[in-house]
């Protein structure tokens, strides 16, 4: 049951990916002087509304990630949860591990190290107000559809289109219900908002006003380095 005072908010950090598009282990790659994953964990550690962190990862890497958390002072880490074959399965394991004492869950990609405590808090406060909330930014580029031969076939309107980010935050009971149905139907989804929409529930957008892209390609690291440097100097 949700507390009459401050709700219990558990972060589920999904860090079980293969990094196949990167070509090397991106979670431990050096970024601004320390491993990439440590930046992600630090943002949630420093966010006052987060009461605990669950790190969903390959069981073979649990020792490595626990050492990293200890080295960088991550005291809110509750447990390392075994990842699943797909992202769907990993998040489901995290939801179950959070337990009934968790009022809200904030699911975040481990490979989004630029997230800030302020953006996390904004997303969670919106979820507390509306029941669900996802960080996102409006699509500014022109969007075309192409066929299998990479020939443009259609121009799409970008009105009302949003590029989804994480964290994505929900009441635990609602997210549990949504994922239980997803698992039961053996369906897939690329993010929690998609899972929520499948059962007819509304998702509120909390607009991200700071850098928060996912590290997917090597070039993303170069830009992230610049942003961390700018933040340190107070210019970004």
3-state secondary structure 188-222: CCCCHHHHHHHCCCCCEEEECCCCCCCCCCHHHHH
Residue 33, phi-psi category: left (phi > 0), alpha (psi -120 to 50), beta (remainder):
left
Listed range (24-28, 63-67, 195-199, 228-232) with the worst mean pLDDT: 24-28
Cα separation, 103 vs 121, in Å, equals 15
Average pLDDT, stretch 124-145?
A: 97
For the chain, the structural domain boundaries read: 9-233
pLDDT number for residue 5? 79
Q: What would the CATH number be for the domain defined by 9-233?
A: 3.90.550.10
Using an 8 Å Cβ cutoff, are 93 and 176 in contact?
A: no
Average pLDDT, stretch 112-116?
A: 98
pLDDT above 90 covers a percentage of the chain that reads: 93
Residue showing tokens 């598009």: 21
pLDDT number for residue 18? 60
Going by pLDDT thresholds of 50, 70 and 90, the confidence category of residue 44 is very high
Global confidence as pTM? 0.94
Question: Is the predicted pLDDT of residue 22 greater than 80, yes or no?
Answer: no
- DSSP letter, residue 52: E
Question: Is the predicted pLDDT of residue 3 greater than 50, yes or no?
Answer: no
């Amino acid at each position: 049951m949700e507390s009459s005072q401050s709700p219990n908010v558990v972060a589920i950090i999904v860090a079980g990916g293969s990094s196949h598009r990167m070509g090397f282990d991106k979670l431990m790659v050096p970024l601004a002087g320390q491993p990439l994953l440590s930046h992600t964990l630090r943002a949630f550690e420093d966010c006052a509304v987060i009461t605990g962190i669950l790190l969903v990862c390959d069981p073979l890497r649990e020792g490595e990630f626990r050492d990293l958390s200890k080295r960088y002072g991550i005291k809110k880490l509750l447990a390392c949860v075994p990842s699943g074959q797909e992202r769907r399965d990993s998040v489901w394991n995290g939801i179950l591990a959070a337990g009934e004492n968790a009022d809200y869950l904030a699911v975040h990609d481990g490979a989004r190290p630029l997230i800030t405590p302020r953006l996390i808090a904004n997303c969670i406060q919106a979820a507390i107000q509306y029941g669900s909330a996802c960080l996102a930014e409006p699509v500014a580029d022109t969007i075309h559809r192409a066929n299998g031969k990479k020939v443009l076939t259609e121009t799409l309107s970008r009105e009302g289109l949003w590029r989804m980010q994480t964290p994505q935050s929900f009441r635990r009971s609602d997210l549990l219900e949504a994922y239980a149905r997803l698992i039961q139907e053996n369906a897939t989804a690329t993010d929690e908002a998609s899972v929520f929409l499948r059962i007819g529930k509304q998702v509120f957008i909390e607009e991200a006003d700071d850098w928060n892209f996912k590290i997917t390609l090597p070039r993303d690291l170069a830009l992230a380095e610049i942003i961390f440097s700018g933040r340190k100097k107070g210019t970004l």
